[in-house]
């Protein structure tokens, strides 16, 4: 796996449990490698974005992190169940990789505990993108 990092210089702060976010990134990157051909390119991107808040009509400044691979892709049917505990796809390309079916469920829980959201976009044979948001910290000018 070849990792390509896109990280803006002006990435704002987030309040987060560093260890848990490392766990999230490790799981998403591990899955990208596991469910892709050898020597695949994986992109890890961070960006600032205004995102709608699911609980109100406001938009909030968020950090969006995405992990994009060029692997087998995930069927629409499987995408509906991906974040369910113990879910394992019946697709033979995916089933060959070892796993418990807990990683994405745990990842989703961690992101939600950080007041973020996680989602997946995928097309069979084209690859998969997992993305999640984390709220930015508002810091008065000059304090950082």
Q: What is the pLDDT of residues 45-74, one digit of tens each?
A: 999 999 886 666 788 899 999 999 999 999
Task: Kindly report the CATH class assigned to 2-135.
Answer: alpha beta
Q: What is the pLDDT of residues 32-41, one digit of tens each?
A: 999 898 889 9
pLDDT for 142 beyond 70: no
Q: Please, which pLDDT band fits residue 143 given cuts at 50, 70 and 90?
A: low
Question: With helix as H, strand as E and coil as C, how does the chain read?
Answer: CEEEEECCCCCCCCCCCHHHHHHHHHHHHHHHHHCCCCCCEEEEEEEEEEEECCCCCCEEEEEEEEEECCCCCCCHHHHCCCCCCCCCCCCHHHHCCCCCCCHHHHHHHHHHHCCCCEEEEEECCCEEEEEEEEECCCCCCCCC
Question: Structure pTM?
Answer: 0.89
pLDDT for 5 beyond 90: yes
């Amino acid at each position: 796996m070849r990792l390509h990092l896109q990280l803006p210089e002006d990435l704002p702060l987030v309040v987060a449990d560093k260890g848990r976010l490392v766990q999230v990134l490790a799981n998403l990157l591990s899955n990208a490698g596991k469910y892709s051909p050898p020597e695949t390119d994986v992109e890890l991107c961070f960006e600032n974005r205004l995102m709608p808040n699911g609980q109100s009509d406001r938009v909030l400044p968020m950090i969006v992190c995405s992990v994009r691979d060029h692997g087998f892709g995930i069927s629409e049917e499987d995408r509906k169940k991906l974040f369910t505990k113990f879910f394992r796809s019946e697709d033979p390309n995916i089933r060959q990789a070892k796993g418990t079916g807990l990683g994405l469920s745990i990842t989703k829980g961690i992101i939600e505990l950080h007041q973020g959201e996680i989602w997946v976009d995928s097309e069979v044979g084209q690859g998969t993108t997992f993305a999640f948001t984390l709220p930015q910290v508002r810091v008065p000018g000059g304090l950082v």
